[in-house]
Amino acid sequence: MTAVETAASLFATLDAAGAAADPVASFDRSALEAIVEAGVYGVSVPAQVGGLDLPLVEVVDVWAELARADGSIGWCAFASDVALAYFGAYLRDEGIDRVFQGGLPVMAGQFAPNGTAERDGDDWVVDGDYQFGSGITLADLAGCGFLATPAGGGDPSFRFRCFPVSESEPRGNWDVLGLRGTMSIDYRVHGVRVPDVCSFDFFAPVVHRGSAMHHLGVLPLTAAGHAAWALGVTRRALDELAASTGRVRMGAPAPLAESEHVLISYARLESRWAAGRAWVHEVCAAVEAEAAERGGPPEALSADRLRQACVHVNREGADIAREAYLLAGTSALRDSPLQRCFRDLHAGAQHFFASDAASIDWARGLLARP
């Protein structure tokens, strides 16, 4: 089987785990272990550190299949995978020995520069309060961004680093509408010593290993992950809507599948999903090819196009889920996969990677072209 087919074969296992996780706002690590055992964990990670390093379009399709089974599990799986891709590609050899010596760990955290750090010898001493540590209760390593002040003074730089999750302090505040199973609690870091070799410059990482995909940098590569996630959960919402069309709504003369309004609406929703998926595939293939040709990062306009494709499918996903929810009627009101998709996609649409920031950057780049 291909990696995408293998990911699809996990549907029943991950679906059951996700359904059990939603009410208690946390899923069991066995769900991630199933992904590992199936051989589809690390699809974006450099082969030199034990990853699969698949082409970016295939990576997107694998992550989408995991998210189709369950939004929370798919979210944590792609987030850990893509974080390992950064560290596997951008750390120096000394850092690789520390992070990957036991194989591919599970990683969680937030990369926003909410912490500060002072240099002490070969280490950074980090303090900070972080939010939305998706999957951190199940992780081996925590990652987070920080502003690093050079030992001799000067302007701080934005760096990303990782450390054992046991050195963080969980805050336990996850009572939310959607993505409940991710257990994306806040966490605190106080006085944690992180070797410099376990960190890299966020905006100007040096690619030490990996493939063309790793030249994209943190923001575009993460955008591909969020796009994949939205495509997968939206696909599940549409599948659940299709499965409900045999029902007869109260007061209706025939099943939903015989309603022209439902048929037209469903066709339009499927078209919107297919168009979004096609654009994500096109952009991912193009930006990876550009990075390969340049032997380095793609042009900013190309990277921003990928970020905008991510925004597009996340916004479209939330809209599609809302329309599917309304078309399905009261069957979607009760606890159901469609209800979870609705909540998860609206939660995902609140993320930075679904915000207007990418749209502004891409539009400015387009308008500045000669």
* Local structure of 128: helix, strand or coil: strand
From CA 123, how far away is CA 163, in angstroms rounded? 12
What gap in Å lies between CA 26 and CA 108, rounded to an integer? 14
Q: Which two tokens stand for residue 6?
A: 């293998």
Which sequence spans correspond to the domains of the chain? 3-99, 107-201, 212-367
pLDDT at position 351: 95
What is the pLDDT averaged over residues 351-370? 96
CATH number for the 107-201 domain, one of 2.40.110.10, 3.40.50.720, 3.90.1150.10, 3.30.1490.20?
2.40.110.10
Could you tell me the fold of the domain covering 212-367?
Butyryl-CoA Dehydrogenase, subunit A; domain 3 (1.20.140)
The vertex-153 CA angle with 151 and 155, nearest 5°, equals 115
Mean pLDDT, range 158-165, rounded to an integer: 92
- Which CATH superfamily groups domain 3-99? Acyl-CoA dehydrogenase/oxidase, N-terminal domain (1.10.540.10)
DSSP letter at 8 equals: H
Residues listed for the chain? 370
Mean pLDDT of 155-178: 90
Output the pLDDT for position 141.
94
C-alpha 115/C-alpha 20 separation (Å) is 34
Cα separation, 213 vs 224, whole angstroms: 11
> Could you tell me what percent of the chain has a pLDDT over 90?
78
**pLDDT tens, residue by residue, 85-105:** 999 999 999 999 999 988 999
Q: Give the Cα separation of 349 and 18 in Å (integer).
A: 20
Measured distance between the N- and C-terminal CA atoms of the chain, rounded to whole angstroms: 47
Q: Where is pLDDT greater, at 314 or 151?
A: 314
